[in-house]
Amino acid sequence: MAEIEHYTLNFGPQHPAAHGVLRMILEMDGETIERADPHIGLLHRATEKLAEIKPYNHSIGYMDRLDYVSMMCNEHAYVLAIEKLLGVEVPKRAQYIRVLFAEVTRILNHLMWLGAHGLDVGAMTMFLYCFRDREPLMDAYEAVSGTRMHATYYRPGGVYRDLPEVMPQYEKSPWRNEKKLKELNANRQGSLLDFLWDFSENFDASVDEYESLLTENRIWKQRLVGIGVVSPERAFQLGLTGPMLRGSGVAWDLRKMQPYEVYADLDFDIPVGRNGDSYDRYLVRVEEMRQSNKIIRQCIEWLQNNPGPVMIDDHKIAPPKRADVKNDMESLIHHFKLFTEGYCVPEGEAYASVEHPKGEFGIYLLSDGANKPYRLKIRAPGFAHISAMDELTKGHMLADVVAIIGTMDIVFGEIDR
């Protein structure tokens, strides 16, 4: 019998299942992985260094571009760290709006993950279902911030503006008859909150659809059950967070353990797995979508009944009102000064972390009293997860590598920052 060949295989960086520019050097024994060595450095965006040469308020947009599937969640940690150093108290309505969009972003992230993970494993239909349901949430992003992805909506002291009272409408076109136009605009007759409420009413049924396609599908289970198993103890040692940790049975969620904003006032559960494999991580994320939907509904109910300011009234940090800028030269000068020079932040250091869709996303800020950070360090969950790649893939087959990358929910913007 011929001896099984040992060889080295280059996986990526131009690979449809690499979820970015991931390059792995795989040492193989036939089809079996003996060692996986992930290489980063092919994207390197230098976000931390760029933030250190720019005023604090210029770097919010850079945060969106880290994990470009969880845009507002990245902003959230950054503005929380700045607020810690400034010692400001954010208005309650702004806190609810932040939580509302953090959970909208969590659903957006998990839908992207599920569609891409499905494609990696061979389930084409999931991608179409997930992108169908992402579309209304992208419209909500656009309605509130003017852009579908890189929102720059959270600001130190609150949010950019209050939620719009009118949703954009689809317009007539040669490809749309009157009946279709009426259907498309049926849930856009009210405010953004009404639009999101309508989405939330139907979303649990959409999650049921995903589960009917995958949860008991024997091919899906054969590809995920028992693949990439991590024990609870080892998950802690590897620095895993988010669904990667909760899939191993550890009920650790910063929204419960270290509550921020208004999470302590909201009712939701932390889903956990039992076996620590790829299938359990799939189940955890699917249930997280249901829990996020539950949080969104609570936020909408509170916001509909509680008007108020969405930004602090300190014009050293908050820009003047647009009407004042048009009519008052002093306000106009202040507006330009704020957006060009920014503001000085007191000396000190702060760390703020949020329960990002992928795990613990943290920002460490060190200020020397200037208008830009002396040091900014990003704690990206995907960086810790990818470091566990060798351990998770060892002994598995080549095809399982793709499933393990998918279960990690990797986006390279935050890893190679």
How far apart are the C-alpha atoms of 330 and 373, rounded to whole Å?
28
Domains of the chain: 7-87+90-169+186-311+346-414 (1.10.645.10)
- Say if CB 142 and CB 153 are below 8 A apart: no
- Per-residue confidence (pLDDT) for residue 173, from 0 to 100: 87
- Per-residue confidence (pLDDT) for residue 389, from 0 to 100: 95
DSSP letter for each residue of 104-167: HHHHHHHHHHHHHHHHHHT-HHHHHHHHHHHHHHHHHHHHHHSSSS----EETTEESSPPPSS-
CA 188, 193, 198, 203 torsion: positive or negative?
positive
pTM of the model as a whole: 0.95
Q: Where are the alpha helices (DSSP H) in 306-358?
A: 322-327, 329-341
How far apart are the C-alpha atoms of 349 and 84, rounded to whole Å?
9
Q: Which amino acid is at 219?
A: I
Going from the first residue of the chain to its last (417 residues), give the mean pLDDT of each consecutive group of 10, the final group possibly shorter: 76 85 93 94 91 95 94 96 95 97 97 95 92 96 94 95 93 88 92 96 96 95 95 95 96 96 96 96 97 98 96 88 84 85 94 97 96 96 94 94 94 91
- Per-residue confidence (pLDDT) for residue 35, from 0 to 100: 95
pLDDT in tens, 205-239: 999 999 999 999 999 999 999 999 999 999 999 99
- Per-residue confidence (pLDDT) for residue 330, from 0 to 100: 83
- Per-residue confidence (pLDDT) for residue 3, from 0 to 100: 61
